[in-house]
Amino acid sequence: MILSVTGLNLFYGDAQALDEVSLEVAAGDIVAVVGSNGAGKSSLIRTIAGIEKPRSGQVVYKGVDIAGWPSHRICNLGIGQVAEGRQIFAGLTVHENLEVGAYLQRGRHKRAETMERVFEMFPILRKRADQLAGTLSGGEQQMLAISRCLLGQPELIMFDEPSLGLAPTIVQEVFGIIKHLNEDGMPIILVEQNVAISLRMANRAYVLENGRIVLTGSGDDLLRDDRVREAYLGL
Amino acid sequence: MDFWTLTNAVASGLLIGLVYGLSALGLSVIFGVIRIVNFAHGEIMVMGMFFALVMFRWLGMDPLLSVPLAAGLMFVFGYVLQRVVVSRVSHLPEHMQFLLLAALAIMIVSALLLIFGPDAQGVEVDYAWESFAFGELIIDYPKMFAAIAAVIVASLLLAFFKYTTTGKAIRACADNRMGAQVVGLNVDRLYALTFGIGAACLGAAGAIILLLFEVHPYLAPGYTLLAFVIVIIGGLGSLFGALVGGILIGVSEAIAAILFQPSMKTAFSFGLLILVLLLRPQGLLGKAAR
């Protein structure tokens, strides 16, 4: 296992956001976490990333328990994140966004070659390199967010609602990119409201409800599960 | 009043205004990134002035040579202040942050009073009374050197934010704090660095302005207020705006002093402030609030 989360509990004040959550990611996996709004999907990602501090539980990444570590150290270990709402730096240029993505030690020494790589993946970003990131379209901003994450040299990427607010054709493209990254060997955690697509892509999936994992299995198993079909696919 | 009197006043105001602008930059940087209004602004600047005074008395050092030292010392002060004190209140409501920094301001003034006493003290450099003339335009050496030093420090600061990776990372924190956490920037450390840089501007501005004015502890609140006026006129959060605002205030004070009388100059700057707030509330170079 690259990442194994065990018994994670997170509180915002008195409200419990995560309740004994356990999850595993193996090499080459796409792990989907599905659930409705407010189920705790983003909280789970933010806790693994170190932005939220869990009250208890373990987050073991490559044999080291990183629960409660500060986010910059976790990032520097190679856990990258493409956050909900993209969270690009709107007032910085595209190029500057990418540079800041490689700010940590881990990304810094490979900055030039990775920048070239993402420009090849997304030629539009090269064209817009000196433009302010806030002037990009939603789809371009998502490509920038993914590229910025890649500049940090991640060995595991967590995607939080990558399809949110994007046009359907762009959504297809974004999922294509995620698939492609995975085929190149990148383990992925995918948090999505778009349950059908994410379950179809995932080789393992978890259903989160009110901060608890209520179902787990392969993506196909969950697609056939009556409860999932009823609650999330409307079938 | 004739043309040359006015020209001389404008030139002198412009040179002093550049130093004001550097000081206002210090306020703008800290507010723009950390969203903390530094109510101990003038006090930190006056600490820079006293530091340069001590270096002059002790080692005979020209205040301009003390600029890098004053900046370095105040950088450390600002860094530690943010790390140890201000970061603990950044989640609290604004009036509580205000009280903390206002209290710090009072402590600094009191400490300076204990050490240096309430009297005005200054330095006298060799070139204090030298000047050169273009026709009837007379420029004092101290004012000119002070303005050049201020421009150099301000340019270094702007270049730092534009060209260095750390400068870009700090701008990224200011632009989108959540985004900064997502890419793993150590926001707390970058905030401390920012407060340090803002305070370093003040240390530099203080050492520079000692060439022009005598220092006493009670100068500090006046400088705080002046920087607020400049930053609001120039546009909150705009670094270039702070410089422009500084020049405007410097020039308008100088003109007020010859048109009316020197004691009217503060009323004049506040008049300018009210005018800007009425006509362009976001400041001259500021962006309208979204």
Which residues does A contribute to its contact with B (CB < 8 Å)? 49, 51, 70-72, 74-76, 81-83, 87-92, 96-97, 99-101, 103-104, 108, 148-149, 152
Q: What is the mean pLDDT of chain B?
A: 93
Pairing of strands A56-61, A3-12: antiparallel
- Containing domain of residue B92, as a range? 3-115+157-226
Q: Which of B182, B185, B190, B239 to mutate to test the interface with A (most CBs of A within 10 A)?
A: B182
Residue B186 resides in a domain:
yes
Taking residues A115-123, report their average pLDDT. Answer: 96
Sign for the pseudo-dihedral over CA of B169, B170, B174, B177: positive
User: Is pLDDT of B161 > 80?
Assistant: yes
Query: Residue B94: inside a domain, yes or no?
Result: yes
Strand runs labelled E in chain B: 131-134, 137-140
**What's the pLDDT at B290?**
44
Mean pLDDT of B7-16: 93
Q: What string of DSSP letters covers A48-77?
A: HTTSS--SEEEEEETTEE-TT--HHHHHHH
Whether A228 and A202 have beta carbons less than 8 Å apart is answered as no
Question: Smallest Cα–Cα separation from A82: which of A139, A158, A151?
Answer: A158
Residue B258 lies in a domain: no
Is B25 inside any structural domain? Answer: yes
Torsion of CA B11, B13, B16, B18, to 10 degrees: -80
Pick the range with the lowest mean pLDDT from A94-108, B38-52, B248-262: B248-262
How much is the pLDDT for B135?
A: 85
| DSSP letter (8 states) at residue B83 | I
**Beta-carbon separation of A83 and B171 below 8 A:** no
Q: Is residue B284 assigned to a domain? A: no
In a domain, B261, yes or no: no
- Quick one: closest CA in B to A77, which residue? B184
Tokens of B100: 């903390």
Other C-beta atoms closer than 10 Å to the C-beta of A171 total: 18
Mean pLDDT of B5-10: 90
Residue entry with tokens 């009556």: A226
What ipTM was predicted for this assembly?
0.92
Check B183 against A75: CB less than 8 A apart: yes
Which whole-number Å values give the CA distances from B202 to B100, B171, B244, in the listed order? 19, 20, 17
Contact A129, A94 (CB under 8 A): yes
Closest residue in B to A45 (Cα) is: B182
Q: Give domain status of residue B101, yes or no.
A: yes
Domains and CATH numbers, chain A: 1-78+155-235 (3.40.50.300), 88-154 (no CATH)
Looking at the structure of chain B, the number of domains it has is 1
Kindly state the average pLDDT of the residues A66-84: 96
Distance CA B271, CA B267 (A): 6
- Percent of chain B at pLDDT > 90 equals 78
The helix or strand, by DSSP H or E, that contains position A6, with its residue range, turns out to be: strand A3-12
Q: How far is B63 from chain A (nearest CA, A)?
A: 37
Q: Of B30, B60, B55, whose CA–CA distance to B197 is shortest?
A: B30
Question: B3-34 and B219-234 are packed helices; what angle lies between their axes, rounded to 10 degrees?
Answer: 90
Band of pLDDT at residue B62, cut at 50, 70 and 90: very high
Q: What is the mean pLDDT of residues A81-104?
A: 96
Q: What does the pLDDT look like over A182-211, one tens digit per residue?
A: 999 999 999 988 888 999 999 999 999 999
**CB neighbour class for B223 (10 Å; exposed up to 12, middle 13-18, buried from 19):** buried
CA angle B41, B44, B49 (to 5 degrees): 125
Query: Is B139 within a domain?
Result: no
CB-CB contact of A150 with A102 (8 Å): no
The residue of chain B nearest to residue A149, with distances taken between CA atoms, is B183
Residue B143 has pLDDT above 60, yes or no: yes
Q: What is the pLDDT of residue B262?
A: 82
